[in-house]
Structure 1
Amino acid sequence: MPPTSPTPVNRDEAAARAPVGGAVRDVVRERGDACPGALRLHRADDGFLARLRLPAGLLTHRQALALADAAERLGDGRLDLTSRGNVQLRGLGASCGGELAALLHEADLLPSEEHERVRNIVASPLAGLDGLGAGDVPSWARRLDGLLCASEAAAELSGRFLFALDDGRGDVATLGADVTLLARRDGTATVQIGMNHPPFGDQPVRAVRVPAADAPRAALLAAETFRTAAEASGTGAWRVRDLPAVVARGLPAAVTERLTAAGITVLTGDLAGVPTGDSAGDLTGDAEETREGARVPVPGLIPSPDGTVALSAYPRLGRLSVAQWRHLLYGGGGLRLTPWRGVIVPGLAPDDAAGLLGRLRTAGLVTEPGSPWLGVGACTGRPGCAKALADVRADAAASVTTAPAADLDQDSDRHSDRTGLPVYWSGCARRCGHPQGERVDMVATGEGRYTVSVHTRDGTRT
């Protein structure tokens, strides 16, 4: 049943945690995270904000219509896509919590109120659509979500803890998840624990290999083992990377022991340097195919082996109007939202796909690989966020359509063009929602100025 009185709050009331003896990191989390959710709304300058977790970014047609209805009736008429393939609704009224919860329950978007903030699952968005990769990742996502919602221990995970389900092409394996499943063509899966924190940190990757059928259950047990280790460390760690080094080093052995006790066959022990991204060919057995598939989905039409076509499109700066969102539902099927703030429309007839692509282009979505909007992102900025020092969306848009509107430090417009990297505009040093991996960060410092940092495999330059 829907909650009777969900009260919007923007802080966590968890008791403080005191550090215990032994080596710990400098930062000790003394409270739970304050991530917003569907029931825990965040107060912003433009009204309340709800963040709706959509495991693997999967939406049925009925669920997508429900989100459009929520944005139109309760919010500002727009839907923001996040870097975890989720949706945010903004401009919500302070008294709409009960109505929003009821709408989400009706659409089967809120299977567990206790777990709604920990249903953080990203997945390879083209899995099963383009003939690349291995493993039934959408099935993994549904099974893992069901296991999460049934686990009392999982409800205690931070709202920032992240699962990534990669079909072997290496696309989401590089997103800095806490637990990553990588499909292999031999019918097994690598369970990766921890990840180099993007852009390319120094935390070693550790992994075990299990039968593919056991992968979702292994991912949950790995997360529960992390939670136990975090509590024992006394640091209140939200993510694997927050654990003290000595605790993190022992986590793979603890996970292996937990999996074995649960009856899951561990085929490979503790491994370092599990290949990801362009080197993930070892996981699928076809390195050339994997390098091609590891790219972020490009806008346009993607043929599927079954004769249907998938359509890939990107809203400008990750924001869609309700009208644009409803255009995506023209085919009557579901949607897949990507961790790169894009949308995949699967299962279209070729003629229908071509017609829809044209309508989306007319509606203002990015539908071509050469679009200058591709790779440009921004946080909310002014006037929606009180902490923002600039209207970053306007400045980002100006950088695409005209000469830069702001006085940018270090010739940042030429700098971004030279690198060819994604560019993310942030209203303050918190850089909310910034992408992972190689990128250019534009951070507002006030008075129309920005500092620029370039994150590459060779290091960060400012």
Structure 2
Amino acid sequence: MLAAMSSAALRPSSQATAVSRDRGDACPGTLRLHAADDGALARVRIPGGVLTLSQAEALADATQRLGDGDLHLTSRGNVQVRGLADGCGAELAELLTAAGLLPSRGHERVRNIVASPLSGLDNHGLLDVRPWLSALDTALCASEPAQALSGRFLFALDDGRGDLAGLEADVTVRATADGGAQLALGSAGRALHVSAQDAPRAALAAAEAFLEAGRAGGTRAWRVAELALGADELTESVGHRLTAEGIGHERQARETGRSHGPSPGAIGDALSVHVPLGRLSAPQWRELTRAALGELRLTPWRGVVLPTPGTTAVRRTEALARLDAVGLVTGPGSPWLRVGACIGRPGCAKSRADVRADATAALAAGAALAASGAGRHQSLPLYWSGCERRCGHPRGERIDVVAAPEGGYRLSVVAPGHDEARTVPLDDPSRLADVLAEIP
């Protein structure tokens, strides 16, 4: 989420444990609100994180009129509106529909698509994935079977730079150097090579093949990793479906990489900022819309990319200064780039602590950087959780800081060579660096 991460491989299929769900998933949407301790919560799916300026203004209006006044970014580039009063669901849906943010009520929770946020704005991608994004979202909303996908099923569109490789998406489409695309399922197994033109259709076909595989196996899985099939067995099933739909393909080794977000600052024809703990106030949102030209792109790392084609260097510098002045991260040296947290208290009844306040206090004390004595852990992201569910935690290597039942926190390192079950206590968040130094 907050730093370069490696993708975690699935266990071999012979050791995998299939998960059969006896109910639909409870992921909130805009039509199905979640009751939290700070009021109802709506999760607005933003495919590719792309918002027009009018849509951004509509979201700001919705949270100011109906919610807590802030917009909360998720690890999938979506937006949560929190603190909603009882009975406001219909008004919220009306606002979002008018803004074009609710194109299909039957698909509103399944439009989970992340895309390389700098695609088309710098020179590092192999192609601009925006046509893929539009085509996949349109096809997804037109597919009746796709309504059965869970609200957790994730599509990823990578422009070839590999920035989404570690997100463990259920379906990943990645541009290849030969002008085609690689289609991969989950985080293990071989991949399928398709033409760039067929990539969006192939991604939807893969999702529908996943649903068929679950029904055939008598399971109700939410994610690819939960299927009883081995990784290559599912790839084989997807290949059969592609053949049936007239989509040419061939099997190939999967390309790997590490998940990473854009560094804050001016990049190509864009400005990139990081949002501390993913919470955007009204003044911050106004400055973002003021600096952007035409649209905003929310990232899976709780950041925002602002396209600024044709803008002079002076104006870009001025815009970054205004964004910095309202508390957004505009440079690569900030410790906030390593720190994330779940909502914690008072928003979540399951949380044992106000993790955001504690994370902020630790950072203010200089402990979040773990710069002294933390050795090889100093580059890992830190994620603070109010309970063992670790909602919203980043994939791959990290330091988990989890509120303990007895008070305080327990620390563990999630990385190769470390036993995740081994934890060390942290009674005072300001001592985080010292405690990390105790972990070999």
In structure 2, the CA distance between the partners of 1:333 and 1:26, relative to structure 1 (3 Å rule), is closer
For 2:84 and 2:374, the matched residues in 1 are separated by: 38
Q: Match for residue 375 of structure 1?
A: 338
- Is 2:246 the counterpart of 1:263? yes
For 1:358 and 1:127, the matched residues in 2 are separated by: 24
Deviations 1:111-163 (CA, angstroms, capped at 9, x unpaired):
00000000000111111111111122111111100000000000000111000
In structure 2, the CA distance between the partners of 1:374 and 1:265, relative to structure 1 (3 Å rule), is same
In structure 2, the CA distance between the partners of 1:71 and 1:413, relative to structure 1 (3 Å rule), is farther
Deviations 1:235-281 (CA, angstroms, capped at 9, x unpaired):
211111001145x4421111111111111111x22x45x12216xxx
2:212 to 224, 228, 241: 228
Instruction: Look up the equivalent residue of 2:208 and give its one-letter code.
Output: E
Q: CA RMSD in A?
A: 2.1
In structure 2, the CA distance between the partners of 1:185 and 1:156, relative to structure 1 (3 Å rule), is same
Shift of 1:457: 4.0
Q: Match for residue 169 of structure 2?
A: 177
Instruction: Look up the equivalent residue of 2:345 and give its one-letter code.
Output: R
Instruction: Check the 8 A contact 1:24/1:233 in 2, yes or no.
Output: no
For 1:91 and 1:164, the matched residues in 2 are separated by: 30
1:397 to 356, 360, 365: 360
Gaps of 5+ in 2: 1-14, 423-440
Instruction: Check the 8 A contact 1:301/1:310 in 2, yes or no.
Output: yes
Instruction: Look up the equivalent residue of 1:344 and give its one-letter code.
Output: V
In structure 2, the CA distance between the partners of 1:367 and 1:447, relative to structure 1 (3 Å rule), is farther
In structure 2, the CA distance between the partners of 1:158 and 1:295, relative to structure 1 (3 Å rule), is closer
Q: Match for residue 346 of structure 1?
A: 307
For 2:284 and 2:308, the matched residues in 1 are separated by: 19
Shift of 1:351: 2.5
Equivalent runs, 1:83-122 vs 2, <5 Å: 83-122=75-114
For 2:242 and 2:111, the matched residues in 1 are separated by: 21
Q: Match for residue 412 of structure 2?
A: 453
For 2:83 and 2:216, the matched residues in 1 are separated by: 40
Structure with the bigger RCO (C-alpha within 8 Å, sep 6+) is 2
Deviations 1:49-81 (CA, angstroms, capped at 9, x unpaired):
000100010011111111111111110000111
- Is 2:117 the counterpart of 1:125? yes
SS at match of 1:367: coil
Could you state the TM-score of these two structures normalised by the residue count of structure 2? 0.88
- Is 2:129 the counterpart of 1:168? no
Provide the aligned length of Structure 1 versus Structure 2. 404
1:275 to 238, 243, 255: 255
Q: Match for residue 3 of structure 1?
A: none
Deviations 1:417-456 (CA, angstroms, capped at 9, x unpaired):
8432111100000000111122111111135411112122
2:73 to 54, 69, 81: 81
Q: Match for residue 383 of structure 2?
A: 424
Instruction: Check the 8 A contact 1:389/1:445 in 2, yes or no.
Output: yes
Q: Match for residue 13 of structure 1?
A: none
Q: Match for residue 438 of structure 2?
A: none
